[in-house]
Amino acid sequence: MDIASFPGSRIVEISRLAFDLPDVDILCFGESDQPGPPAARDALVNALDGGPTLYPDVRGLPPLRHALAEYLSGLHARPVSEERIVVTASGMAAIAVALTAILRANDRLVLLSPSWPNLGNAARLRGAQVDEVPLAVSEGGRLQLDLGRLDEALRGARAFILNSPNNPTGWTATAEEMAAVLDLCRRHGVWLISDEVYSRLVYDGAPAAPSALDVADPRDRVIVCNSFSKTWAMTGWRLGWMVVPDGAREAVAEIIEVTHSGVAPYTQYAGVAALADQAFVARFRDHCAEGRSLVGEALAGVNHVRYVSPDGAFYAFIGVEGVTDSLALARTLVLRHGVAVAPGSAFGEAGEGWLRICFAHRGPRLERAMRRLRDGLKATI
């Protein structure tokens, strides 16, 4: 794809409108107003004072690689070897490196829709064809994975990106669905890229969402991408990781060398400290659960709005009956009602008619924003 014809972000478009106004509650971004772990900040400062500011190992510093292997092995059903860990400059960097390793021009990539726009756009930048498989909507309004439709779409494809828990919908694959997806990818010879950045933000009491790491063999064509941004509220730190197949790390490290040449070492020491702070993970999940409940209460009884509480992530994805231009609605909500939410059309054709709300915010702020949203929806639809 020619960069001159690359579509702009509709989320950024809404945010720029909001930034130009004096009093807008901004819920359109995928980040919380909570600070990250204090231990991570202290570790970064100590690392800077100690002097590790030279070029790092592009695979990631050994202390972080070992800490990630221990963390993932304790969290999932199968152990993860340190030799499969690669540290990246954010979760998006992990996705980009995975796509660079796998995709060539005119390859076909499949992803679920609605989806975070960066996933498909990163594949298009590499000359790939992107086919979307929409999540089905049940009679009760809950989103479901259509395995039959996915089976058809994977025929002849090079790769499939699975984002679970999903941005923007909060849909989360069950353990049975995760195993079924892996089986389909194996049968069709398709690479599975599992984007699991929201894996710890689930609300059923489980420590994590079902993962490809629970079911995949180390030799499978599976790459798992993750990040510190969501679980530890470290969006600005730009620190992520990949779990790659056995024997693939050195080749993947060569891609990192020619794309971003590794991650700042002091930031990696902050990652080691964050991994050790599991109490923060529990507190942050509880914080998001409170926001989830508040949004549900605020939307109850609003006519022409479809909403089912999400199983994971920190977004409310609401359908608005009769809306065919969610970008126009999002603009109106900013300009007339002082609340910025993401238009569903930013996440693909299947997202049109929906709005995405980030609920990972403090109660008083979120309550005010939801009052504004309720008033805006009632006045508009």
Query: Rounded CA gap, 201 and 220, in Å?
Result: 26
Q: What is the pLDDT of residues 295-304, one digit of tens each?
A: 999 999 899 9
Q: What architecture is domain 38-276?
A: 3-Layer(aba) Sandwich (3.40)
The per-residue pLDDT for 1 is 59
According to the model, what pLDDT value does residue 301 have? 86
Residue 5 confidence (pLDDT): 65
The answer to whether 109 and 160 are in contact (CB under 8 A) is yes
b/e 34-55 (16+ beta carbons within 10 angstroms → b):
eebbebbbebbeebeeeeeeee
On whether the CB atoms of residues 376 and 305 are closer than 8 A, the answer is: no
Poorest-confidence range of 49-53, 295-299, 319-323?
Answer: 49-53
Per-residue pLDDT band for 141 (boundaries 50, 70, 90) equals: confident
Average pLDDT over residues 287-292: 98
CB-based contacts of 176, cutoff 8 Å, min separation 6? none
Contacts of residue 80, defined as CB under 8 A and 6 or more positions apart, other chains included, come to 68, 69, 72, 73, 213, 243
Please list, in sequence order, all residues whose beta carbon lies within 8 angstroms of the beta carbon of residue 152, skipping any fewer than 6 positions away. none
Query: How would DSSP label each residue in 240-300?
Result: EEEE--TT-HHHHHHHHHHHT----HHHHHHHHHHHH-HHHHHHHHHHHHHHHHHHHHHHT
Per-position b or e across 148-172, b if 16+ CB within 10 A of its CB: eebbebbeebbbbbbbbbbbbbbbb
Residues in the chain: 381
Q: Which CATH code for domain 3-30+279-380?
A: 3.90.1150.10
Q: What's the burial of 106, exposed, middle or buried (CB within 10 Å: 0-12/13-18/19+)?
A: exposed
Reply yes or no on whether the pLDDT at 177 is more than 80.
yes
| Token pair belonging to 278 | 């599991």
Give percent of the chain above pLDDT 90. Answer: 93
Is the per-residue pLDDT at 2 higher than 80?
no
- Give percent of the chain above pLDDT 70: 98
Which residue do the tokens 């945010």 mark?
A: 15
Q: What are the beta bridge partners of residue 214? A: none
Q: How confident is the model at residue 333 (pLDDT cuts 50, 70, 90)?
A: very high
Mean pLDDT of 348-353: 94
How high is the mean pLDDT of the chain? 95
Contact in structure between 232 and 284 (CB atoms under 8 Å): yes
Q: Is the pLDDT of residue 381 over 90?
A: no
**Which residues on adjacent β-strands are paired with residue 356?**
317, 342
Torsion angles phi and psi, residue 29, rounded to 5: -90, 155
Domains 3-30+279-380 and 38-276 are alike in CATH topology: no
Confidence of residue 3 (pLDDT cuts 50, 70, 90): low
CA distances from 117 to 4, 5, 350 (A): 17, 15, 12
| Residue extents of the structural domains in the chain | 3-30+279-380, 38-276
